[in-house]
Amino acid sequence: MLPFKSLISSTQLTPDIIREIFRITDNMDNIIVEKGRSDLLDDKIIALLFFEPSSRTMLSFQAAAQRLKAGTIFAQSSGMTSFEKGESIEDLIRVVAGYSDIIVMRHAQHGSARIAAKASDVPFINGGDGGNEHPTQSIIDAYTIYKHKGRLDNLHIVFGYDSLQSRSIHSLSRLLAQYSGNRMTFIGPAKLFPSDEMLTELEASGTHCEVRDQPVLTDGVDVIYLNRLQEERFEDRALFETNRRKYRLQRDDVKESDALILDPLPRIDEISVDVDALPNAAYFKQTSYGVPVRMALLAALLGKT
């Protein structure tokens, strides 16, 4: 059991709660390895509402449900729902809550998850609300860091390259800010540094933060967490191409480093393919943890651990 009905933000995830989710995740991983599936949720229906493009999040939630023998119902674009007719988020969620035992939703609107959770009579999971938050991804990221580094405190984490609009960076930085001794450096183009409000929030927790307009930082770094530059954020195509070439992690940048290299994916240009063979390149392992983590969240929010 978790001390909340719905997961909206990584700010809900205290170290004690994270520890419990990790314990359940380990159990779910054992189920996958030893039996493949469990009937833990065979009496439950999970609604997956994805109104923005998704591959890993949607598929891993579907796989998590099937591993626990839960039924699933889907809506994968706003065109498949009455949104196109002008229906509100609140009304749709009230209806879907009557069809299911738990709802997972991704939506382009910042703050839509909070609106939906308030309207829902059943547990609700934020699968990403615009550029705001992605709390389940932050748990996967933290689980990966813990598995490889053995701790979530006293870390130097480098975030790049779009810390302004990346919901994954927002959620993971907020989660890690709850642990003592962490230091965060945000790299990338100055126009994509975190907002002043975000930096103030992180520093209020005691986390030391700095920003640097540079493509690589490895000295004294424990974790490098990168995401893609988004072409749509640049008004000048030539400027985007210049930045895309500049802000890219190359094998030579990290071949002598033991920093854990993570990326929530999809990867576009931010990490050179030849980095994949390095022992500290963990982004594909990171995504594999998505299924047991989301199994744990579904079971815990449904009180079936």
**How far are the Cα atoms of 49, 88, 89, 101 from residue 83, in angstroms, in the given order?**
12, 7, 8, 22
Q: Which residues contact 252 (CB under 8 A, 6 or more apart)?
A: none
Greatest CA span in the chain, whole angstroms?
Answer: 56
- List the strands of the sheet with 102-107, edge to edge: 71-75, 45-50, 102-107, 124-129
Helical (H) or strand (E) element with 21: helix 15-34
Residue 57 annotated in active site: yes
> 3-state SS string over 113-139?
HHHHHHHCCCCEEEEEECCCCCHHHHH
Catalytic residue (one of 25, 44, 67, 106): 106
Contact between 18 and 139 (Cβ < 8 Å): yes
Q: Which residues contact 110 (CB under 8 A, 6 or more apart)?
A: 129, 130, 131, 132
Residue 85 annotated in active site: yes
Catalytic residue (one of 56, 69, 147, 251): 56
Contact between 78 and 107 (Cβ < 8 Å): no
Instruction: Copy the structure tokens of residue 262.
Output: 């993570």
Residue 170 annotated in active site: no
Residue 56 annotated in active site: yes
- List the strands of the sheet with 183-187, edge to edge: 208-212, 183-187, 156-160, 223-226, 260-262
Catalytic residue (one of 107, 134, 156, 248): 134
Tell me what percent of the chain is helix, strand and coil, each rounded to the nearest 5.
Answer: 45, 15, 40
Task: Give the DSSP letter of residue 65.
Answer: H
Residue that is written with structure tokens 């978790």 in the block: 2
Tell me the catalytic residues. Answer: 56-57, 85, 106, 134
